[in-house]
Structures are given as C-alpha cells and as structure tokens.
Chains A and B, each alone.
Chain A
Amino acid sequence: MPQGDPGHDATNELGSSHGMDNHNANAQIAAQRLAEEAKEASSYGARGISDVTKAFTSAAQKLQPGQLVKDDYFTLFEAVGALEIMDPKMDSGYVPPGDTFEATFDVCKGLPAAEILWIMDELFRLEIAWFGGYPLSQTVFTSLHLDRLLSPDNKPPYTLNYGENPTGDIATEENLVHIVLRSYCIALAKCLQYVLGFVQSQNFYEEEDFVTHLFGRELLPKLGFNDADALLNDASTWLQSAALPSEYREALQSRLQFRKSLLTALNGSAEQWISCISAIEAVNKSHGHGIFQPEAFSDKVQRQLATSTPPRPVLKLSWDDACKQWTEMCQDIIEANRLTSAPIVQSASCLQRATWAFAYREPAPNTFTRAHMQSLLFGQDIISNTVSHFELFLTDIKEIVLTGHPLVDAESFQIELPSDPRHQCSRIIESFMDKAFDEYLNLYRMVCQNRCRIRRTFTQAIPILDELETLALGVDTELDNITPLQVLEIYGQPIRLNPLSNWTKFHKLQIVTWTVQLGFETDIYLPHELYTMYWLLLWYTSRQRQLLLCIEPFVLDRMKTLTKRRQTQQVVECLAAQDWLKSQGVSTETTHLISKALWRLYSMLMATHLIKTPKRQYAQESLLWDARMKSFFGLTNDPVPSLEDFVNAQHLESVQQSCRDIDEALKDARTNLSELRKMTPQQVRCVGTEEQWKREIKQMETTCVAIAVQTSQVLRVCAKNGDKGASGDEDLSALMEVSIPAPGSRYHDWWVVPLVKEKK
C-alpha cells in the first residue's frame, strides 16, 4: 500500500512515472519529509521501545466506521493506489483455493521442435505488444522460460536450471530448450534492454505511451551484446547438425536469424533493420509448423513480480497483427533514418517537414520509433554527422529572415576583435540563440510525441514563444543600435527589419495555427463550434500573411544590393529564399481561403438550423469563449480575438450569397494549390518529403472540391423548394440534414467538410 508514502516505488505501477528525474525528485522529497518527521518525533523525548497496542486500540475506537485517516497531503492518486489484500481482482498475490502458487510447468524439460517454435512465436507476439504500450508483466514476462532466466536467484551464465548445465547424453529435445530456446530468450532480454535505454533517453509519457517498469527484475546485466550474439551463433551451429526434419531446422534458424538481426540493429547497425524485415517474412512463413504449448506461459508469474498492479491476463494479439506491427516498426526506423539524412538536414525547413512526415506516417509510429527519431535529432549535438544544432538553428534564422545578410554570415561569428560591430552583433545573436535554444529544438521534439500530445505541448509552447518574441524585439533594437537595420517603406509605412522578433513570430504563429488545426484532428470541437474555430484560423492566417509581407521586401532589397556587388553566391541564396517565402505566402493564403470557405459554410448551416447548438443549460457564451480560447490567452503580441470581435465579424447573408462567396474563396484556393503544385521541392523546401507534400496538396484540392459539392447541394435543394434561403436565417432543417465526418474519414483530418443530405 502506497498510502502516506508518495515517494515510494510501490506507487509507481498504478501511475507514477519511472523517469529518473521524477523518481529522484519524489524520493528526495520523501526523504526530506521522513527526516523532518524523524526530527519532530525525536524531540518528544528519549528514544526507546514501547508497546503502543493499548494506545492504538483506544485511538481506533474513537474513529467512526469508514472514517478516513489521512494527512493534508494525501491525494486521490494515493487513494487509488490502495489495494485490498486477498481480493482476487486487486491482489496479484492472491491464490484461489485449490490453485498452486507457482506454475507447475518444468522449464528444464525437453520439448519437441514444433513446441519450441510456437513458444518463440508467442514471445514474438508478446514482445511487439510491449512495444505497443502494454507492461512486461502482461506480455513477455509471462514466459516461464524467460522468467527462470531473469529470476533473482539465477546467476551467470544464466541457465534454465540455475547455473548447472545439463551434462551427459542430452536428447535433441532437451538441447532445443537449453541451447536454442535459451539463446533466443537471452537475446530477447538484451533487446528489451536496448529498447528501454532508447525510450528512456528521450521524451515519452510513461504508461500513456509505454511502460518501462521491470517489476524488480533485471535484464541479465552481466551479459553483453557479444555474449548474446555468441549464444545465438552456437544455437545456430548446433541446429545445423541436429537430427530434425529440415522444415523445423529452417524454421528455428529463421527465428534465430530474426533475433540476431534485431539485436544487431538495436546495437547500432542501421542497415540491419532491412534484414529484420526479411527475417520477419521468413518467420511468418513457417508459423504454421508450431504446436500449441500454452503451459509455457502463465500469468501466475505476476504473483512474484514487484508490483502493486492488479493481476492482468496475458495479452492477446493476433499473429497477423503482430507480424504487421513488427514490419511497420522496422519500416518506421528505416524511414526515420532517411528523413534525417544529410541532404535533408541541410535546410531547417526541410527537416521540419521531414519531422512532420515521420509523425504522420500511418499507422502512427510507436513510442520506440519516435524515441529513435528523437535520438537521431537530439542524441548528439550534430545531426547525421553533418549539421550541428547551432548550425541548424542559425540556418533556420537565415532561411526565414536573414538570407544574404552579414548578420548570419558564419565569418561574422569568427571575428574576435571586440570593437568590430560584427563581433558585437554575433555575441548578441548568440546570446539570443542560447535563450531560445531549447524552445527551438522543441519545435522538432514536440512533433515526435504522440499525436494527442503534439497539440497539448503546442499549447504550452505558445506563451513561451510569445515571451521570446518580446525578448527578441529588444534584441533587434540592440542590433539596430550597433549596425542600423534596413528600413523600407511597406504599404506606405516605414518598417524596420526586425529579424529575430520576426523569426520568433513566424514560428509562434505557425504553432498557433497548427494548434487550432490539431483541434480538428483530435475532434475536440463540437459541430456548433466549427464556425468559430475556422474563423479563428482565418484570424491567425491573416497575421501570418501580414508577417510574410514584412519579411519578403527585405530579401528582395538585399538581393538588389548583392547583385550590384556581384556577390553571386548570396544572390542565389536570396533567390531561393524568395521562392520559399513565396511558397509560404501562397500556402498561407490557401489555408486562409479554405478556412474562410468553411467558416462561411458552417455559419450558413448554423443560421439555417441545419446545425443546432445544444441547450447547454449551464453555459454562458463568454465563459464558453474563455474555455475554448484558454490555450491562446498567453499571447500578448498577437492577442486572441475577443468574443465581441467574433460576433462583429459574423454577418447574415442569403444562402445564395454565402454559397457564391464560398465558391469564390474555393476558386482562389484551387488556383493557389495549382501554383504550389508547379513549384519544385527545392523551392518549397520539401526535399526528401516530396511525396508527402504532393499528397498534402492533393488532399487540399479534394477538400475544396468536396466543399463546393456541399454548396451546390444546398443551392439545389433550396431552388427545388421554391428558392428558399433568401433571408439566410430561415429554418431549412425540414429539407436537409448535415453530418460531420469523424477524423479518419475526412479528405484531410484538419479540414472538416460537412456532409449535406437532402431529406426525402
């Protein structure tokens, strides 16, 4: 029972994390608390032993039945951690009458090849379920063979009969267990260890994503990669001359080969992931030769694992699903390696796209592969042995706001003469980069989290980026004081180049719009909220447009100067930057137009009662607005619009006029999309993710078509019923009905196109 001892490890199984920092923090606080309590206790008098039974009994009698005894710090979390001993559903140590405490299966006895094969396949199945987020206690730890090997009593060389190798004449069936299955299990334990190391070195969410708990067991700490690899080799050699039917020999070899490839891949040989995929195919082909040996697995193992988890049954996962998930995982790793390769990491924008492309692989990459992606990006200070984090960051600033500008010239950072303005500016920029560094890398790391978390971490990043923007405004002024920054007349106003604040705003607004869009994907907006949220997207894409208008002219101006000076290299860079800024502009405009179309469409459907707002007995408009906009209230530089702004922006039009406006917006959006389609991967900076980019454009085109289909449907039904809709707010719910497609059944999960049907 974890009651009153929140730092204790026993609480962990039901909820707390095993991340070391947290664990240490908990332990530290618990230790502090204990020390304080001890100090307090010792102040009562001399230490000694006394019988408290009487005092305890009399105190207990003063309590009401059911009265809760707890201190002020006792949380619900701790209450939930309480277990009732001897309750079969709660107490994992409970042994029902007539049952044995331990499984009775003898792990030392020889088994036929067909059963060995089945056991290996069962482990293969359970292992991928563990990757999928289930605890070891419910998956591979239920193997009695593995349990024996990992038993705390077992010592190197970790044999199934506790350190004694079977001697004398051993039959084939026994060798199959003691040589083949044992080597497989030992290598499996090493694989688990590698995977745990990977996952725990990166950002992940304990229990939600993955369960790292080892239940007090260790994964053969005295054995290394070479030992496990050698055992697999020995097993393979023994199999070559074993008296077995060839199909069984080959089937077992393919399983050893799979394990060897996986172990080697996890040990750092990237090319081995391809071998894993072919090994999985081979394993799958001979799966049918296995003979059921369910006795080799038992959830009774849970009775001896260090846990406060209630007993849980061994996990079921179909063989086909297991093979599919293993293959997908290997493919995800291979793709992660490709997406962080040298050509892609040269451009920060390309790498951003690549990170998103990885996150949006279908089905969503599992925790281990997301950790792998993170380790490729952040495992070292340098990505893909080519680009350091500092270079990546500087490239990003350069690509977005300062192409061709001496401020981001690598040489400026080398100048050591303190009086040189380039030296001074470089130090100022470096100091800003230091402050923004974590948040910059988070732009990549956040995307490597599970998809629900991407949105939630974005909402936390918004106020931080906004504060950073405020800071950057000051830094821009400092730079201007040293070397005056360009001032250009933009739309009749003199505007100064504000490189760092514009860079920050660029990313901030991107995160803001993505946050809104991820809300559509995670389906947190109700049908009657959709017009509000598309209007909000419209609002922030306007901000993005304005920002681009304050960046582009400076690049053009700089290019003119550079051309005069015949600085060809920089001119080429400026041209590329202009192309990219243009593509950003067109892309932002497209998002803006589609948001506009959907905002108007949903407004019209609301006004004509085709989408109804529920009664909402306890809701107040202004409080609903507060609740919905909470994620954006931290914005001070681009504050979230007020409910009044929203209400004022709405205007009632006839259905016919609304449809015309929507179609107009869609027409422009489609023109933009075809323009984007014509741009090269270099221009839009989607090198390495060309396919994903094309798919994205295609999905948006289909979305536009789908919206237009809805407006024509509405117009057709209105016309058919005597030109209904002229007032814009008449109730059309007798004529039509609207359904909202769920995520996964949309042309693009960020664009919710309603489905209008005529009522028959």
Chain B
Amino acid sequence: MSAMNAGPAPSALSNTSTAQANDSELRYVSYGSERESPYLPAIRQLISKDLSEPYSIYVYRYFLYQWGDLCFMALDKNNHLIGVIVCKLEPHRGGPMRGYIAMLATSQEHRGKGIASKLVRMAVEKMIEKDADEIALETEIDNIPSLRIYENLGFIRTKRLHRYYLNGNTAYRLILYLKPGIPSQPTYPPDFPPLDGDMNMSSPPIYSPMNEDLIQRQTAQLNIEDVYDERQRLC
C-alpha cells in the first residue's frame, strides 16, 4: 500500500470531530481567495496524516494561493474539516487548459457517505465554469473506491504508470475531456525548465529521462485518494 493509504494515524482532527455527523449536517465550502485561511492547518493535517513523507507547507500554499477557488472543503456543524479536495488549472504544455486533481481526503470516520464524490463533482463543475478543456489525475491501481468515483463520473484510464509512487506502487492516469478536439491541440515543451516529455526514442541519446513524468510522479505523491469504505455506497 502506498504511504498515503497505510494505516491512518488517529489525528487530533478526527478525535475532535463528531463521528456521528450525518450528511445533512455537512457544509461544503470553497477555500476561496484567502491567502492564509484558518483551515490551512486542518487541511494539511487531514491530508498528511496518511502520508509517510509529508509535504512542506509550501506545497499546500502553492495550490491554495493560486487555485483557492478550486479547493473545496466539507465541514461538520462545528466547522471541523471532514473532507477536502485540492486542484489546479493551467495550460498543459502550452496546449489544452488542464485541470488537475492533486489531493483528495476524507476523515476516517466519515468515509462511505459520498463526501469524496461530492467534493470531486464540485471541483469538476468549477473547472468547467473556468473553461477547462480536460481534467487529469492519478490514483493507485488498487484503490478501487477512488477509481469508481472518477470512472462513474466519466473519467477513463489512459496510462498505467509503473512504480509511480515513492513507495513503489503503480498508478493509473485518468482523464476526462470536456471539449472536442483535444487530441489535435498542439502541445509544446515549455521554454524553461526543459521538459522532455516521454522518452523520445527516435533521438540517439542513450539516456532519455522524462522530466515530465518525474514531475507528474512527484505530483502524484500528493494525490491522496483516501476514500476507502466508500464501497457500500458505490458498489
């Protein structure tokens, strides 16, 4: 299992949240444009509690500062954070406007209630509103509940990524096209830093490292598909 799915440690957050909260008591709100929201520590805690190698505050700020409107939170009646989704939206290699779901987590006690699914739908709709061409993400190949959420919404698996995560686990890349003509949109490697993209086997160099994939793999470390126990509802 990946670091992020491995035995979630009981966090301060889950101890204080009301485990019996039902759906009607939940509120879904956007993180918005606040630079340093009071929810940031809770978001970080919820996401990192299942990570063996957590990310610095900088990573969270990277997303929340630039795409705070694409971050949605589920809060219980006491305003405790129950679930969160973190995304970005920017042109992919100078081509299509790509939405990217980077992190998704719900607290242990509230899984199986469709919270993650609701957060994904809110993020997708916001991305559509913001004129996204496509949405991409990665998730572990054995995270069935997570795959179900996305595949039920219309995402398809486009690649299998060998040993994608630092812990050696393999992932699928999932994609959802929102507009026609995406495959024919040209993409360009950015001027800086150099992104070689996938191995260009037509060129003679022996080493063909793939920055692009490495970046995506690193990014994938963030992708907290922490939605086990959604099974009862989704299957």
Identify the A interface with B (CB < 8 A): 3, 6-7, 14-22, 25-26, 29, 33, 64-68, 73, 75-77, 79-84, 87, 89-90, 133-134, 200-203, 205-209, 310, 312, 438-439, 442, 445-446, 449-453, 455-457, 460-461, 464, 522-526, 529, 614-620, 622-624, 626-630, 633
> Top 6 closest A-B pairs, CB basis?
A619-B154, A17-B209, A19-B207, A66-B36, A616-B154, A19-B209
Contact A451 B162 (CB under 8 A): yes
Question: How far does the alpha carbon of A389 sit from the alpha carbon of B48 in the complex, in Å?
Answer: 52
Contact B58 A22 (CB under 8 A): no
Q: Given A446-B201, A522-B160, output 8 extra A-B contacts at Cβ < 8 Å.
A: A7-B193, A16-B209, A17-B211, A89-B52, A89-B54, A205-B213, A457-B198, A524-B158
Contact B201 A200 (CB under 8 A): no
**Interface CB pairs A-B, < 8 A, 23:** A15-B215, A19-B209, A29-B193, A29-B194, A76-B62, A76-B219, A77-B211, A77-B215, A79-B58, A80-B55, A87-B54, A202-B206, A208-B213, A452-B170, A464-B202, A523-B157, A524-B160, A524-B172, A616-B153, A617-B121, A623-B177, A624-B156, A630-B182
CB contacts under 8 Å to A, within B91-138, are 102, 121, 124, 128
Contacts of B56 in A (CB 8 A): 82-84, 87, 90
Contacts of A522 in B (CB 8 A): 160
Q: Looking across the interface, which residue of chain B has its beta carbon closest to that of A465?
A: B202
Contacts of A629 in B (CB 8 A): 183
Contacts of B198 in A (CB 8 A): 456-457, 460
CB contacts under 8 Å to A, within B203-234, are 203-211, 213-215, 217-219, 221-222
Question: How far does the alpha carbon of A523 sit from the alpha carbon of B218 in the complex, in Å?
Answer: 23
Contact B192 A438 (CB under 8 A): no
Known contacts A68-B61, A438-B201; decide if A628 and B156 are in contact (CB<8 Å).
yes
- B35 contacts the other chain (Cβ, under 8 Å)? yes
Contacts of B42 in A (CB 8 A): none
Contacts of A81 in B (CB 8 A): 218
Query: Closest CB-CB distance, A112 to chain B, in whole Å?
Result: 35
Query: Closest CB-CB distance, B217 to chain A, in whole Å?
Result: 7
Question: How far does the alpha carbon of A15 sit from the alpha carbon of B210 in the complex, in Å?
Answer: 10
Contact B209 A64 (CB under 8 A): no
Contacts of A464 in B (CB 8 A): 202
Number of interface residues of B (CB under 8 A): 75
Q: Looking across the interface, which residue of chain B has its beta carbon closest to that of A453?
A: B162
Contact B211 A624 (CB under 8 A): no
Contacts of B202 in A (CB 8 A): 438-439, 442, 464
Contact B168 A133 (CB under 8 A): yes
Contact A614 B57 (CB under 8 A): no
Contacts of A25 in B (CB 8 A): 194
Question: How far does the alpha carbon of A66 sit from the alpha carbon of B66 in the complex, in Å?
Answer: 11
Contact A442 B162 (CB under 8 A): no
- B159 contacts the other chain (Cβ, under 8 Å)? yes
B163 interface neighbour in A33, A65, A209, Cβ under 8 Å: A209
Contact B221 A80 (CB under 8 A): yes
Contacts of B210 in A (CB 8 A): 17, 205
Question: How far does the alpha carbon of A73 sit from the alpha carbon of B195 in the complex, in Å?
Answer: 12
- B179 contacts the other chain (Cβ, under 8 Å)? yes
Contact A65 B201 (CB under 8 A): no
B222 interface neighbour in A3, A14, A80, A451, Cβ under 8 Å: A80
- B176 contacts the other chain (Cβ, under 8 Å)? yes
Contact B153 A200 (CB under 8 A): no
Q: Looking across the interface, which residue of chain A has its beta carbon closest to that of B190?
A: A73
Question: How far does the alpha carbon of A89 sit from the alpha carbon of B157 in the complex, in Å?
Answer: 33
Contact A67 B214 (CB under 8 A): no
Contacts of A455 in B (CB 8 A): 160
Query: Closest CB-CB distance, A166 to chain B, in whole Å?
Result: 41
Known contacts A17-B210, A618-B154; decide if A90 and B53 are in contact (CB<8 Å).
yes
Question: How far does the alpha carbon of A16 sit from the alpha carbon of B214 in the complex, in Å?
Answer: 6
Question: How far does the alpha carbon of A208 sit from the alpha carbon of B35 in the complex, in Å?
Answer: 35
Contact A200 B162 (CB under 8 A): no
Question: How far does the alpha carbon of A16 sit from the alpha carbon of B210 in the complex, in Å?
Answer: 8
Known contacts A19-B208, A133-B168, A203-B206; decide if A616 and B152 are in contact (CB<8 Å).
yes
A626 interface neighbour in B121, B183, B196, Cβ under 8 Å: B183
Q: Looking across the interface, which residue of chain A has its beta carbon closest to that of B90?
A: A76
Contact A22 B209 (CB under 8 A): yes
Contacts of B55 in A (CB 8 A): 80, 82
Known contacts A64-B35, A84-B57, A452-B170; decide if A21 and B205 are in contact (CB<8 Å).
yes
Contacts of B12 in A (CB 8 A): none
Contacts of A16 in B (CB 8 A): 209, 211, 214
Contacts of A456 in B (CB 8 A): 159, 198
B207 interface neighbour in A22, A133, A628, Cβ under 8 Å: A22
- B180 contacts the other chain (Cβ, under 8 Å)? yes
Contact A452 B161 (CB under 8 A): yes
Query: Closest CB-CB distance, B167 to chain A, in whole Å?
Result: 10
- The 8 A CB mask of B58-93 against A (1 = contact, 0 = none) is 110110111000000000000000000000100000
Contacts of A460 in B (CB 8 A): 198-201
